[in-house]
Amino acid sequence: MSAISLENIEKASAQFWEQMLMMHLEPCGETWARRDQQRCMEPNHVAAYCDLSGVWVGRIEVRLTVGLAREATAAMLMQPVETVESADTLDATKEIANMIAGTLKSALPRPCSMTVPSALWESGEFCVLPCTKDTVTVFFQHEAGELMVRVWQQMEAAAAPAPHEELTALCA
């Protein structure tokens, strides 16, 4: 069975940010190396996700700080940051989730289908461990803010043999 690795997550993110937006984001791996150490997204960030179903069932989620979300939206729309509106930022974040999830989906076993992305403004802080039995999370840093990409496998619905081996192996 194909696996989503940390390298897959980093490459999928880099491909989108560097090729589509000409922005470089640096993975925060060395600064967040302990499995038992939480990392948090600040309050008032934007989150978007795509759900996947088929042989692999789960969610691919992105969260961006306001500064990075506005910079990315401005780059996508080719307009100044100060003209970016909230609705545009939600649309841009959906597209970011769609592009990253679509790339990661190619590493998953077939058949696998993906929902249209959803996005919302999160008012509270969001904290997560880097790796659990069913999730792998990678943070990225840019001068405008942070990006979090989280891959979550829904454990009870996965149909493939040894359904969690790819995520569990990343936590080892």
Q: What is the pLDDT of residues 98-146, one digit of tens each?
A: 999 999 999 898 899 999 999 999 999 999 988 888 888 999 999 999 9
Q: What is the pLDDT of the chain when averaged over all its residues?
A: 86
Q: How far apart are the first and last CA of the chain?
A: 18
Does any domain span residue 103? yes
Cβ contact 25:13 at 8 Å: yes
In a domain, 1, yes or no: no
pLDDT band at 7 (very low <50, low <70, confident <90, very high): confident
133 in a structural domain: yes
- What would the pLDDT profile of 70-92 be if each residue is shown by its tens digit? 999 999 999 999 999 999 999 99
Task: Give the domain CATH number at 46.
Answer: 3.40.1550.10
> What distance in Å separates the CA atoms of residue 20 and residue 30, rounded to the nearest whole number?
26
Residue 53 placed within a domain: yes
14-64: pLDDT as tens digits: 999 999 999 999 998 654 556 678 889 999 999 999 999 999 999 999 999
- Residue reference for tokens 């100044």: 80
Q: Is 34 part of any domain?
A: yes
Domain range for 27: 6-171
| 71 in a structural domain | yes
Strands (E), 15-97: 26-27, 39-41, 45-54, 58-64
What span, in angstroms and rounded, lies between the C-alpha atoms of 165 and 167?
A: 6
- Tell whether 147 is covered by a domain: yes
Does 146 fall in a domain?
yes
State the Cα angle at 36 between 2 and 99, rounded to 5°: 40
Give the count of domains, the chain: 1
CB-based contacts of 69, cutoff 8 Å, min separation 6: 45, 46, 89, 92, 93, 145
